[in-house]
Amino acid sequence: MKNRSLRTNILFSFLAVIAILGLFKVFMGYYVINHYVVESAQTQVKNTLSTARSVLNGEIESIDRAFALVSVAGNIGEIKEIIGLDYLYVTGQDKFDSVQSEIVREAIKGNATGGLRIIGEAELISMNHALFDQSRITLKKTPRARPTADTILTRAMAIEYAKPFFNSAGRVDHVLYGGRIINRYFGLVDRIHDIVYEDKTYQSKPLGTVTIFLNDIRIATNVLTREGDRAVGTRVSEVVYRNVVEQGKTWIDRAFVVTDWYLTSYEPLRDIRGAIIGMLYVGVLEKPYTDMRRNYFFIVLCIIAGATLLATILSIILSRAVSRPLIDLVTATEQLSQGKLGWRTSGATRVREVTRLLSAFDTMAQRLKERDDSLHVTNEKLETLNKSYLDLIGMVAHELKGILASTVLNAYSLRDGFLGMLNFKQKKALNSIARNLDYFDATVKNFLNLSRIEKAELSLFPAEVKLKNDIIDAAVDAFGRQAYDKGMIIDNSVDPGLVLTADASLLQIVVNNLVLNAIKYGIKDGRIAISSRDLGGMAEVTVYNDGRPLTGDDKERLFKRFSRLAATPEGRKVHGTGIGLFITKEIVEKHGGAIRVEAGEKGNSFIFTVKKNIQA
């Protein structure tokens, strides 16, 4: 992750808060405006639909009122013209059985009834051929409409009213009925439009539109096509048809009506039996509301943008004021970390807490400088003492090494009978002497190696080494007698073909230490197993011995300087300097590897890895 300056982080934090609040305000503003505009539009559409329904019902009521003023004795033709009906008939008892209108049939029962009904082609022709021509509508292809094979509409929707007249016996003697054909009855939809929208336009387009559908076909509408003609014969979309005509629901949603988007409302039109025969539609042009919403939102956006800009400027000023003393503190800290303990901060600021912080830092820096000066003097003394100590160790170990070499040779020659036969007691005593000399010799070598490590003089001299033949076998031969004395078996299964480029003498120290420890800390009559694995670029060697499994505390201190285990599994104390495994770890890491110990159920495995090809 890329690091940024304190000032940048503070500024980004402020800007993030501003951005989040700004976005929240934008979304809230958009939501409120959108909700207000949509709710306002939907309310207007619902009110418009209610008004349109009232006007349509008023048509029926107007015929009812007119019928109350006329008598069947008058001239039917004149009455039709006066009332303004498309048809008017009187039917007597002799024709009651052949009546097709369900409205008239209801009047025959003695009930004055009005409503909508569908008039078929044959009945239209029988009424008046001119009415049939008026009602006849050619269907136009309409996108998204339901599929149909029809091309011409030959039926009509009518607003009809029927009034019964009774004889002296109180029975219906004849029925007066008449109505207006809605097909191409543009006066009706225009009257609804004028009542609701008052002939208002928006960008030269009608603010609202009204349509009456027969089934899904526009039969009376003030919706215009692109050519400016009324869109009679076009059809409603299939989704609206399914919801309104088939399911009887009121549909309120935005829709693309011929040339523009409208906020629309459709409701089913039913005959007096309740069957759906068409739809009543009103629509409000959507563009005024979208423009209103856009303008409101633009105003809100400008206000938010101005507030955000002001907040951003204040954030920049504030971030600089807050970060300046902290940057000063960071600079001073960096200078101190580079050893410039005399560096100090700029001092006082306008913020009391920050001033106290800078003052405390300067005090700390002064004390650190004083302590550093004291430590510098002490370290010089310690370095002198440590050099003397290491020189002494190296000199003593070197001198003892030469003396020990001849002493060990003579002791082994005497013990093994090369200088004459020994009795049992003499041989036992010499065995003890030999063991002590071996321990002494190992101790001297360890101290020599420790001296080299402490002086950073542990250099590698890589050469090709056969791990088994040159290293492992040599260690087994060197300590085979000690293992034999404890009745231990050494299982050497190291791969003879495993070849390394490494420092043979240092690797020998590693293996010698591990094998010797396995013998010292292994149980009597136990087993030692030495194995290897080729890991590609690394070689792994495992030295296992039967014995007491190591605890977590044992593992933690194993590879530390001057740290060793207290006793063998039998409780016998083992002599040692506690630096063998420390040296082993240093040599292994010098070869690019690592060493670890794993405790099993009956023993422990020391496992180390080294690179197969070490460069000098």
| pLDDT, position 405 | 64
- The mean pLDDT value for 324-349 works out to 71
| pLDDT, position 327 | 72
Which residue type sits at 225? T
Judged by average pLDDT, the poorest of 15-24, 178-187, 481-490 is 15-24
Contacts of 145 (CB under 8 A, 6+ apart): 216, 235, 236, 237, 238, 241
Query: Which H or E run includes 527?
Result: strand 527-534
Query: What's the rounded Cα separation, in Å, for the pair 578 and 566?
Result: 10
Contacts of 347 (CB under 8 A, 6+ apart): 355, 358, 359, 362
- CATH superfamily, domain 458-611, is Histidine kinase-like ATPase, C-terminal domain (3.30.565.10)
Which residue type sits at 39? E
Judged by average pLDDT, the poorest of 210-219, 337-346, 366-375, 465-474 is 337-346
CB atoms near residue 315 (< 10 Å):
19
| pLDDT, position 249 | 94
pLDDT higher than 70, residue 271: yes
| pLDDT, position 570 | 54
pLDDT higher than 70, residue 388: no
pLDDT higher than 90, residue 339: no
Confidence of residue 398 (pLDDT cuts 50, 70, 90): low
Q: Compute CA distances 92 → 76, 87, 99, 112, 459, whole Å.
A: 14, 17, 10, 15, 133
What values do phi and psi take at 353, rounded to 5? -65, -40
Contact 48, 208 (CB under 8 A): yes
Q: What is the CATH number of domain 372-455?
A: 1.10.287
Query: What's the rounded Cα separation, in Å, for the pair 542 and 518?
Result: 11
With tokens 């008449």, the residue in question is: 178
Contact 608, 594 (CB under 8 A): yes
- The mean pLDDT value for 418-447 works out to 69
Confidence of residue 438 (pLDDT cuts 50, 70, 90): low
Query: What's the rounded Cα separation, in Å, for the pair 587 and 584?
Result: 5
- Going by their DSSP bridges, the two strands 527-534 and 489-492 should be labelled as parallel
61 versus 345: which is more confidently predicted? 61
Of 182, 175, 183, 180, the C-alpha closest to 89 is 175
For the chain, what are the domain ranges?
A: 36-290, 372-455, 458-611
Domains 372-455 and 458-611 share a fold: no
- The mean pLDDT value for 263-292 works out to 89
Alpha helices in 558-598 (DSSP H): 580-590
Confidence of residue 448 (pLDDT cuts 50, 70, 90): low
Highest mean pLDDT among 204-213, 326-335, 400-409, 524-533: 524-533
Confidence of residue 37 (pLDDT cuts 50, 70, 90): low
pLDDT higher than 70, residue 16: yes
Query: What's the rounded Cα separation, in Å, for the pair 286 and 301?
Result: 22
- The mean pLDDT value for 160-180 works out to 92
| pLDDT, position 446 | 64
Strands of 189-339 (E only): list them.
201-202, 205-206, 208-214, 217-221, 251-257, 260-270, 276-285
- The mean pLDDT value for 320-335 works out to 72
Q: What percent of the chain lies above the pLDDT cut of 90?
A: 33
Contacts of 441 (CB under 8 A, 6+ apart): 401, 404, 408
Which residue type sits at 415? R
587 versus 308: which is more confidently predicted? 587
- The mean pLDDT value for 427-437 works out to 69
Per-residue b or e along 552-569, where b marks 16 or more CB atoms closer than 10 Å to that residue's CB: eebeeebbeeeebbeebb
To the question of pTM greater than 0.75 for the whole model, the response is: no
Mean per-residue pLDDT of the chain: 82
